[in-house]
Amino acid sequence: MTRTVSIAQARQGDSHTIKEVGIPSLVLMERAALGATGRLLNGDFDLTNVLVFAGTGNNGGDGLAIARMLHVRDIKVTVMLTGSEDRTSTETAQQLKSLHYYQIPVIPASTNLAGYTTIVDAIFGVGLDRPVGGKFADWVNAINASSAKVFSVDVPSGLNADTGEPQGATVKATATSTFAYAKNGFVTAQGKQYTGELFVEDIGVYLDDHYEG
């Protein structure tokens, strides 16, 4: 059976790998994005006109890296960002720099999603800490109402990854690429309705890798 972990364990695994093993955060992000991009390229997604809907935290950073990886394969990709560019996490700011190098369009988040064939949901991952409301709920509802297929990054935005319960408006994905381990909330009957098909990407984070010298 697939091993599942809590949000706290997922965060501890990332932090241990970065701080103690010494793999930089951006390397983990690159691996995460490579894994997810592979699923998009090899899955049943129409990649004619892709939208990456990105938050300002590291889940958004994963989404931006996916946008770059699609762009270099000549796939048309647009990024919508939920906040201002100068209020992003350190890693996400670095991803934005790379997007600007490639002149990938970055526009403010909106509910006008007409014309996109696939939407990559990179708004919230395991950092979700309150119910999704206000303009975020409007965006999530627009994503769910769109005719595009939806691919979630790490966690369908709005889903409580511990319990599998929606926290306010929650993205319903066709497929989700989650990183390192599946989360406890993904194997409940309710959680499965939000993740869609679930892929687990090996990003080089391993719990229980403490070796006695």
Ligand X SMILES: NC(=O)C1=CN([C@@H]2O[C@H](COP(=O)(O)OP(=O)(O)OC[C@H]3O[C@@H](n4cnc5c(N)ncnc54)[C@H](O)[C@@H]3O)[C@@H](O)[C@H]2O)[C@@H](O)CC1
Question: Which residues make up each annotated binding site for (6S)-NADPHX?
Answer: 58-62, 125-131, 154
DSSP 87-104: GS-HHHHHHHHHHHHTT-
Does 36 bind ligand X (CB under 6 A)? Our answer is no
Q: CB under 6 A: which stretch of 37-45, 46-54, 57-65, 93-101 binds ligand X?
A: 57-65
Among 9, 25, 95, 177, binds ligand X (CB under 6 A): 25
Among 88, 118, 157, 178, binds K ion (CB under 5 A): 157
Among 5, 14, 148, 191, binds ligand X (CB under 6 A): 14
CA atoms within 13 A on the CB side of 133: 3
**Residue 18 vs 75, nearer CB to ligand X:** 18
DSSP 166-211: B-BS----SEEEEESSEEGGGGSHHHHHHH-EEEEE--S--TT---
Q: Give me the 115-134 binding string for K ion, x by CB under 5 A, dash otherwise.
A: ------x-------------
Give the three-state DSSP class for 11: helix
Among 64, 99, 104, 126, binds ligand X (CB under 6 A): 126
Does 153 bind K ion (CB under 5 A)? Our answer is yes
The closest of 196, 152, 149 to 45, measured between CA atoms, is 149
Q: Please give the Cα distance from 115 to 49 (Å, whole number).
A: 7
Does 132 bind ligand X (CB under 6 A)? Our answer is yes
**Residue 22 vs 66, nearer CB to K ion:** 66
Burial (CB count <10 Å: 0-12, 13-18, 19+), residue 43 = middle
Does 32 bind ligand X (CB under 6 A)? Our answer is yes
Q: Which residue positions form the known binding site?
A: 58-62, 121, 125-131, 154, 157
**Residue 131 vs 196, nearer CB to ligand X:** 131
**What contacts 67, CB < 8 A, 6 or more positions away?**
50, 52, 54, 77, 79, 99, 104, 120
Residues engaged in binding ligand X (CB under 6 A): 14, 18, 25, 28-29, 32, 55-60, 62, 89, 124-132, 136, 153-155, 179, 203
